[in-house]
Amino acid sequence: MSLPIPMLDDRSFEAFFQEARSRIPRYAPQWTNHNLSDPGMALIDIFAWLAEMQIYRTDRITDDHKIKFLKLLQTAPKTAVPSVTQVTFTIDKSEQSKIIEAGTVVSAKDSLTGFYEAFETDEAVTVTTASISKILYNKKGTWNEVVITGLSQNDYFEPFFESDTQQGKLYIGLSAAFLENQLRFRFNLNEKGLPSCTPCTRINEFIASVNLLWRVWNGESWQPLDIVADTTAGLLQSGFITVTGVGNGKPSFLRDIPGHSTAPVTDAFFWITVTPGYTQEERFEILPRIQSILLNTVSTTHGRTWKGETYDSTGLPVQTITLKNAPILQKTVTIRIEGKEWTEVDDFDGSEPTDLHYCVDYRSATIRFGDGEYGSIPPSGQKNILVEKYRAGGGIQGNVAAGLLTRIENSNIGDISLVNYTESQGGCEVETVDQALNRVRRDRKQSTRVLSKEDIERLVVQAPGVRLQTVYVLFGYHPLFCTIPMPSTVTLVVIPFSRDNRMVPRPSPGFLKRIEHYLDSRRLITTDLHVIGPKFIPISVSAQLRIQQRMKSDLVKSNAETALNSFLCPIKGGPDGKGWPIGRAVFATDIIAVLQRVEGVTCVKSMNLSQPLQGWKTDSIKIPKIGIVYPSVHTIEITAE
């Protein structure tokens, strides 16, 4: 029985020929000779034959051909992606610290199927008896206490704020008989309502907006702690912060520490403070909303490592074996045949007859060997193919809810409980060939170079750790030589995203450098690239308004100030309500129109504008090319009719 032949189009040569001939009267009515002897009909005959042959050839393009075409474009269908979450361990205080090794299997029970979804710890973690007993923060002189348990996905606290002179301090009270010298804290941040952001993965090269200062109280003074690792990028994203030197702490009452006499009454704890190390320009673009702070926590990835599976070899060319568990995670298979380790390759195109190579189909968990010409043939034998280990997992079934990872499958660890306080995310199914082709078509249309304004606006939001409100692209403008056009210079004026739409969302130097570093490798070598923040110009309005007698003057005055603040808002102001255009002057006619639209105002008797460098004016205030206005203090006088 022959294999079925795919058909992209069921039309034959005759169908193509008849369709083309039927269209002659519509497009060429003067052509009346439709006999086969006519030269035009001969051309139609040839093209119909070519169309049929092209469909015939295209029908024989299999998925293997498509995968090869994708490899020519340096890509391939994506394998299953495992989900990731964090698990927090708890040990009885009567026991000693224990080490949970990397690869420890924890699992969550699926309520529908009853099966357990396995996760493995990504690294070793030392579970100590230390626990976070108290979290306080001092914000603008006011002490606030955080409820440690019961924080849901929507709960958070903000220990810091955006002031350059007062930052707020976070206090973490630890309880334990003694503390390990090194502790690792897990910070889970609430990112609800924020635009998407590329995660910061290359932490060693990352430039944080704010440097965090950690200290521990040793009974006499606050001693600095060394930050060993910080995957939060300065509390920009959820992650781990590892500090050392904690063992120098001493249990104390917070009120007994000098300068903390107004602190709430607590027990004696090991106190650690976290303070943003503000310089004159460092600041949070987006205040971190901390959802939870955890100890004894480690990241886990969906999937399980299987070891020691053996299979028979037939000794025939192009033999295949199917592993017991699927799908397989990429580059996790290790095979040894008769004591020799074999190597995984993408295909056998570059394999010699003696090369010990094999290919893996991750979706079906199938291992394929060579044919003796391209890749070696495994020798025949029983149970002589040893799959030393491989890892199976991934897919959407690994996206489990919070609180379900409660089972540990290593029996020799002892009495340790665990739970995941956050849901696991990121699990995706294996990408099909057609999905990969569509992705490549879409990606190939996108430029990866800074060539135009559209390219810059699209690429700048992909910079790691950057959430933007607006970006303005100025060609030929140099920040240091404002009045001299420079054709090879491109300047980006960026406004960071502000969760609370504060009036002056200034970017920090770290924020600007992150964007500049990301675009630097994507610019043309002849382009002089600069990334700066806008120059914010405060605008004050002094106006005399005449209102209707039935209106309350206080209400009209309040509404007028609100209307002015909305119009002059750099984020949601301007003539179109989409933010104040960069470099746009403030015209008196605009302000008068805003005031006249206020309910109850019958006449604007007088109006003056003020800007610190230009004084009071009645017509307009010019704004620098990189300037954006924001509202300052207004003076509104009310007179009734």
The pLDDT-based confidence of 90 (bands split at 50, 70, 90) is confident
Q: What percent of the chain has pLDDT over 70?
A: 94
Report pLDDT for 572.
87
Residues 467 and 607 in one domain: no
Report the predicted TM-score, pTM, of the whole model to 2 decimal places: 0.83
The number of domains in the chain is: 7
**pLDDT per residue as tens digits for the range 193-251:** 888 888 888 777 778 888 889 999 998 999 999 999 999 988 999 999 999 999 889 99
The structure tokens listed for 49 are 């034959």
Which segment, 190-194, 241-245, 274-278, is predicted with the most confidence on average?
241-245
**pLDDT per residue as tens digits for the range 531-555:** 999 999 999 999 999 888 888 888 9
The pLDDT-based confidence of 371 (bands split at 50, 70, 90) is very high
Residues 376 and 412 in one domain: no
Contact between 586 and 629 (Cβ < 8 Å): yes
Residues 497 and 165: their CA atoms lie apart, in Å, by 22
Q: Residue 166: pLDDT above 60?
A: no
Average pLDDT, rounded, for the chain: 87
Residues 540 and 419 in one domain: no
**pLDDT per residue as tens digits for the range 473-483:** 999 999 998 88
Q: Look up residue 329 and give its amino acid.
A: L
Residues 638 and 545: their CA atoms lie apart, in Å, by 5
Instruction: Mean pLDDT check: name the lowest of 116-120, 137-141, 230-234.
Output: 137-141
Residues 421 and 380 in one domain: no
Q: Which domain holds residue 135?
A: 129-295
Instruction: Mean pLDDT check: name the lowest of 444-448, 475-479, 623-627.
Output: 444-448
The structure tokens listed for 185 are 């804290």
**pLDDT per residue as tens digits for the range 325-338:** 989 999 999 999 99
From 501, 532, 563, the end of a domain falls on 532
Average pLDDT over residues 160-187: 80
Residues 275 and 134 in one domain: yes
Residues 521 and 549 in one domain: no
The pLDDT-based confidence of 105 (bands split at 50, 70, 90) is very high
Residues 99 and 198 in one domain: no
Report pLDDT for 498.
82
Q: Residue 163: pLDDT above 60?
A: no
Contact between 628 and 469 (Cβ < 8 Å): no
C-alpha Rg value of the chain to the nearest Å: 34
Q: Residue 106: pLDDT above 50?
A: yes
Report pLDDT for 280.
65
Residues 172 and 290 in one domain: yes
The pLDDT-based confidence of 142 (bands split at 50, 70, 90) is confident
Q: What SS3 class is residue 24?
A: helix
**pLDDT per residue as tens digits for the range 305-357:** 999 999 999 999 999 999 999 899 999 999 999 989 999 998 898 899 999 99
**pLDDT per residue as tens digits for the range 37-77:** 899 999 999 999 998 888 888 777 788 888 888 988 888 89
Residues 290 and 370 in one domain: no
Q: Which residues contact 605 (CB under 8 A, 6 or more apart)?
A: 543, 544, 545, 546, 639
Cis preceding linkage at 379, omega within 30 = no
Residues 274 and 137 in one domain: yes
Residues 441 and 458 in one domain: no
Residues 252 and 180 in one domain: yes
Report pLDDT for 165.
47
- The C-alpha angle with vertex 137 and arms to 133 and 138, in degrees rounded to 5, equals 145
Q: Look up residue 149 and give its amino acid.
A: T
Q: Domain containing 504 — which CATH number? A: 3.30.300
Report pLDDT for 162.
65
**pLDDT per residue as tens digits for the range 375-413:** 999 999 999 999 999 999 999 988 988 888 888 887 667
Compute the half-sphere exposure of residue 513: CA atoms within 13 Å on the CB side of its CA. Answer: 10
Q: Residue 468: pLDDT above 80?
A: yes
